[in-house]
Amino acid sequence: MSDPSSENELNPESGETAPELSPDVPPELTAPASEAGEPDETSVALDASGNPDGDVPASDVTGLDVSTSADGTDDVKSTPEVEPLTTDQVPASGEQPTPEKKKKSKKSSGADADSTGASGQTKRKRSLRLQIGLLYTLLAVINIVFFSAMILENQSDLLVSSFKYQSDNIIKTLLDDLENLSITREKDDDFSALRFSLTSENVLYFIIFDRDGNIWHSWPEEGDVAPTEVDEALMKKAVSLANEESLIQSRYDKELNEDDFTIKLMVPLRSADGVELYLHTALSIRTIQDRLQYIYYQIGLAILWGVLFHVLFAIFVFQMIFRRVAILKDASQKMAEGELATRAQWKEKKSDDELDDLGHAFNFMAGSIQDKVETISQLNAEIQKELKIGKEVQELFLTDTDMFSDYNLNLFYKPLREVSGDVYKFYQFDDGQRGLFFADASGHGVSAALITTITILSLDDVLEETREPGEVLTRLNTLLAERLDTSFFATGVFLLFDRNNSVQMSNAGHNPVILLKRGDKRVFEVKKMGPPLGLMEDFEYESRKIPTAAGDKYLIYSDGLVETPDRAGEQYTLQRAVKLFRRSYQSSNKDIVTQIGDDFTDFAYHYKDDVTFMVLEIP
């Protein structure tokens, strides 16, 4: 979007033809002077002939008139490499971002939120110890219950079979004892023999009654254990036994209760006077009951032993496995926290199992890591010491800005590491001319610093022979191409200032130099005039003379300034830097550098390259 104040630019409605623009320059090129409180002026990009479109005379074009002559004399042509730079596309502070930026920012924020949500929630760890403990407990309970049930069922079957067998034996014995007894209403010897025979078999009670339901005898006589009357059910059984007398000589009725192992027995008797009598009794087989109680005791003891065994086994497993695993875990955590001397130690007598092998392997690994880290730390210390020396040596090449004190030169210098791939140097010549060289080597760190060192040393040799910027970069390029591999190169710009404040410049693949005109506050960028130094051995660089006036300001910078990203990954951009540069033109160069530096520092999230920029003003 073009600024509304730039309506006076060349356009078809005014009868002028719009200028032909270079591919990398947007159509909205002019940063209106009205933003700075000054009247708006028209700025254009110039074509190769010095005219906006080849038809309009150069004298009608509001722009920079520069000379391309080798002898340094002024020429009426304008330089195509000097073009106005827009700042309209850079949002000012407080402006709302465009919908596209909003959408992108929102998307980035959402991704960050999702990432934070995914990683921010503390995921509960599933304890292997707890899982094995629960599984083992469950299996132990199932195992104990299963075998206890199997034992109880098997013993119960045996007890029932034994109960039936003993019941038949007891009944047979009683029948034999009762066969020769004659019962009367008196408690005579036969009755005593009957009672003895029954009580010896653990009888609970007995009654003797006739067909009319009259009870002749009962035992025990006290209490309510024995029935006091004959109910209908007993009478039916008695009648049934009487009816079977003609069919079966030996007859009786028994009822076995397998729940409490009792026998209810009814046997026909004969009285002394021939009256039909019936004996009804209930017996308890005590041995079966005692055996059942003993089985319950054994099952309880087995359950207790099973629980105790599993507890002891769990303690054993914990001591033999999980305790040593915990020691390994604690040792690993301590090593992760930097305690490299930590070792996994435990004392297990006669132990030489897989966990011991794992512990030995861990200790061996820990010792190896400690040795390597100590070696690396020692090497790093030596490297840091050497880098510190390299930094001090490199700083010897970075001349003090006092040489350009009358230009109010101020700079921002932030190496990515101890040594930098950005380098600058100022020159003071005997005839009053001064030179400024600014270069950015490929990469960063030691390799880039070595390239800059070679570049500065080679430049010093070249300046012994010539000062003309184009020729200086041409010879410097040849020397670097001969000395460096093609994978190593550097971009650079050389400016020559004479006593009349005229500026000659040549740019070897470096970022455009920004020129802020004092009179109309227009911003221009001086494009590069060839490839980086060291890539093409036979390339000849041009030199451009930039007509300047007192108060004009230059911004020279490395790509670290414009390419450093913020948290969302957006780069700082040249437009943002130029926006601040243009807005603060009335401030001192020191304040301009401070404002841009502070804004850049607040913006930057992750540094990827060395960052250097400088501002100077034509006196």
The pLDDT tens digits for 275-300 are 888 888 888 776 777 777 778 888 88
Higher pLDDT, 153 or 88: 153
Read off the pLDDT of residues 199-252 as tens digits, 9 standing for 90 and up: 887 788 888 888 888 888 888 877 777 888 888 888 888 888 777 654 444 578
In the predicted structure, residue 88 carries a pLDDT above the cut 80: no
Q: Which residue has the higher pLDDT, 62 or 125?
A: 125
pLDDT surpassing 80 at residue 124? no
What CA–CA distances, in Å, run from 490 to 88, 344, 364, 598? 31, 53, 47, 27
| Integer Rg of the chain from CA | 56
- 217: phi then psi, degrees, rounded to nearest 5: -140, 150
Of 163, 164, 167, 188, the C-alpha closest to 281 is 167
* Per-residue pLDDT at 394: 66
Query: Is a pLDDT exceeding 50 seen at residue 375?
Result: yes
Of 146-160, 190-204, 283-297, 499-513, give the range with the top mean pLDDT.
499-513
Name the band, by pLDDT with cuts 50, 70 and 90, for residue 508. Answer: very high
The tokens for 590 are: 């020191």
* Whether pLDDT at 8 is above 50: no
CA distances from 365 to 185, 322, 370, 378, 459 (A): 102, 21, 9, 20, 52
pLDDT-derived band at 155, boundaries 50, 70, 90: confident
What is the DSSP-derived secondary structure letter of residue 46?
A: -
Average pLDDT over residues 9-27: 34
Which of the pair, 601 or 74, is modelled with greater confidence? 601
Asked whether the predicted pLDDT for residue 105 surpasses 90, the reply is no
**Per residue in 334-343, pLDDT tens?**
888 888 888 8
CA distance 258 to 533: 110
Q: 173-182, 314-323, 394-403, 580-589: which has the highest mean pLDDT? A: 580-589
Helix H segments across 97-254?
99-120, 128-178, 189-199, 232-243
Is this structure's pTM higher than 0.75? no
Percent of the chain with pLDDT strictly greater than 90: 23
pLDDT > 70? residue 95: no
What does the pLDDT read at residue 543?
93
Average pLDDT over every residue of 54-64? 34
Strand order of the β-sheet with 434-441 is: 422-428, 434-441, 490-497, 503-508, 544-546
68-82, 140-154, 390-404, 465-479: which has the highest mean pLDDT?
465-479
The pLDDT-based confidence of 350 (bands split at 50, 70, 90) is low
Instruction: Give the rounded percent of residues in the chain with a pLDDT score beyond 70.
Output: 76
User: pLDDT higher for 505 or 135?
Assistant: 505
Q: Which of 11-20, 344-353, 462-471 has the lowest average pLDDT? A: 11-20
Residue 44 or residue 282, greater confidence: 282
pLDDT recorded at residue 63: 40
Q: Residue 543 corresponds to which tokens in the numbers above?
A: 């030199």
CA of residue 64 relative to chain centroid, distance: 56
Please give the distance of CA 284 from its chain centroid, rounded to a whole number. Answer: 75
Whole-number pLDDT of residue 351: 65
Mean pLDDT of 578-595: 93
Query: What pLDDT is recorded for position 23?
Result: 34
- Range 111-142 burial, b when 16+ CB lie within 10 A, else e: eeeeeeeeeeeeeeeeeeeeeeeeeeeeebee
Model confidence at 361: pLDDT above 70 = yes
> Of residues 525 and 310, which shows the higher confidence score?
525
Structure confidence at residue 388 (pLDDT): 77
Residue 573 has pLDDT above 90, yes or no: yes
Decide which of 38 and 232 is more confident.
232
Confidence check: pLDDT of 438 > 90: yes
Average pLDDT of the residues of the chain: 76
